[in-house]
Structure 1
């Protein structure tokens, strides 16, 4: 009998101590808990003993001390990443699914990811490549990397054997981490992915896919133009995805009032073979697409001052900064034993 893939045994069978369980009440409110013998889950409407869930089948119902009923199920990966502790913002499941499919992440693939954030995309990538693949995640911030590794460990039940996390800058770390032309796919979730094109070109095998996740149209334009100017990649393609839920109640079938709208843009390109010149584009750009006064490496602010884009920060794109106090609190929480959380 072959050995089970990492984490597979935690996705089936009765609930066990250490499992994550999602409790959903009659109004659809969800709570995710980690089962610890002797502990209790409390709300203002009563409590549930963890021991009442340990040993129960997945998909069971349980009543608390005031007879409020909850449906207990193992959270899907898409549920888990939305409820897990976060340092940086997560890549939403709708975008992670697009990345896995459109970048053709396959079992056994060698994948490089930067940055790691809170580990949401990393877990989807690890699921796709399996134990025989290789994921090298490069993150500048050690505290973010610690949170991401703890989240993945909690989901898989152990450190994933295919995952290596390196602290540093991708441009410096990637040539040290992989031989030239040995990587199948590269996923960049960072402020300025265009700065890493040379390093990615070195690491990717011919035909390999680069996919970038960026937040704003300014970033999207810049990375597309730099991909074209580089000469080592195919013509880029870009898109975004939006998901709209539907209300289902008898014949009252209608779109939900809220939807998952813009979270980011995705742009893909493929590595050309060495020495190959990409075909020249024959379509004519729309009038005004390029401004003769535009400076390729800089942006001019409203006050006429030229700003070097190497100084861009998250706030320049409307990104909400994560407080250092929150990061310290999360790191203490993930390092504490379960009975102290």
Structure 2
């Protein structure tokens, strides 16, 4: 069954549901919601009272969504049916406003998994870019953690700031237009993430200034092998151990009975991830 047919089918099941009781899964006036027409047409929308969302398949009255449960099916002004979902962290990350290449979910998820980032963690991210990874990190460290983001490009800083505000993450993210190689104020954080053109020049500062705590993880993202080689040498001479470099490839398959096979396109090489632990007393 295609997604479009599924939406049509469940819509008929819920069409006459008049239950308006407030529940934890209820859509609120300022929520970010994912509006889905099919597998290719998906929009992340910030609801505001009396707003309308316009598509070539008709207009959706956002006011009518407020108070309903996520997972409902609605009908546009042209009679087309849409699915209303609560966006996942992946959705939020991929839907950020972009001004540069972003770290994709396959790499972001490995960074979070490998470094153990969780609630309460303090994380330094240098090379924020558009803020796609920042958005993911902020959701994992909340409510009491903090992301300290550094970006040297004013244009990218403004875009990242806009995304952080759009996703209501200001309390979790302290974003600065600053070079991490300058004397930044944070010390003894749990994880440092470097998405820089020359991370090998920053790694010594991470150790010398105790930006990363003893036993904390450092992660770097680099597109080329020459960058990785220089990074590895810098790690080995700066008090880092348990070094590992990996590349992740992601291939999705067509989920259809009788033609279950890989899609012809895939997310191939995006970059190399390098991880290391700071051990200061060896």
Q: TM-score, normalised by structure 2?
A: 0.84
> Hey, what's the Cα distance between the residues in 2 that align with 1:219 and 1:151?
29
Give the SS at the match of 2:270.
coil
1:207 aligns with 2:189: no
Residue equivalent to 2:30: 18
> Hey, what's the Cα distance between the residues in 1 that align with 2:39 and 2:124?
41
1:234 aligns with 2:241: yes
1:249 aligns with 2:256: yes
1:216 aligns with 2:224: yes
Residue 26 and residue 185 in structure 1: after superposition, are their counterparts in 2 closer, same or farther (change >3 A)? closer
Residue equivalent to 1:166: 176
1:103 aligns with 2:115: yes
Query: Cα distance, 1:231 vs. partner?
Result: 4.3
Structure 2: 5+ residue stretches without partners: 1-23
Give the SS at the match of 2:117.
coil
Structure 1: 5+ residue stretches without partners: 1-11, 277-341
Q: Kindly indicate whether the alpha-carbon contact (under 8 Å) linking 1:26 and 1:69 is maintained by their aligned counterparts in 2.
A: no
Superposed structure 1 runs of 4+ greater than 4 Å apart: none
> Hey, what's the Cα distance between the residues in 1 that align with 2:242 and 2:123?
21
What is the RMSD of the two structures over their aligned residues, measured on CA atoms?
1.9
Residue equivalent to 2:64: 52
Query: Cα distance, 1:223 vs. partner?
Result: 0.9
Query: Cα distance, 1:272 vs. partner?
Result: 1.8
Matched length: 257
1:222-264 CA distances to partner (integer Å, 9 max, x unpaired)?
2112222x24111521001111111112232211222111111
Q: TM-score, normalised by structure 1?
A: 0.70
Residue equivalent to 2:4: none
Residue 107 and residue 60 in structure 1: after superposition, are their counterparts in 2 closer, same or farther (change >3 A)? same
Give the SS at the match of 1:89.
coil
Instruction: From the CA coordinates, give the structure whose radius of gyration is larger.
Output: 1
**Aligned pair partner of 1:190 in 161, 171, 196:** 196
Residue 214 and residue 23 in structure 1: after superposition, are their counterparts in 2 closer, same or farther (change >3 A)? same
Query: Cα distance, 1:101 vs. partner?
Result: 0.9
1:252-311 CA distances to partner (integer Å, 9 max, x unpaired)?
22112221111111001111224x2xxxxxxxxxxxxxxxxxxxxxxxxxxxxxxxxxxx
> Hey, what's the Cα distance between the residues in 2 that align with 1:223 and 1:99?
17
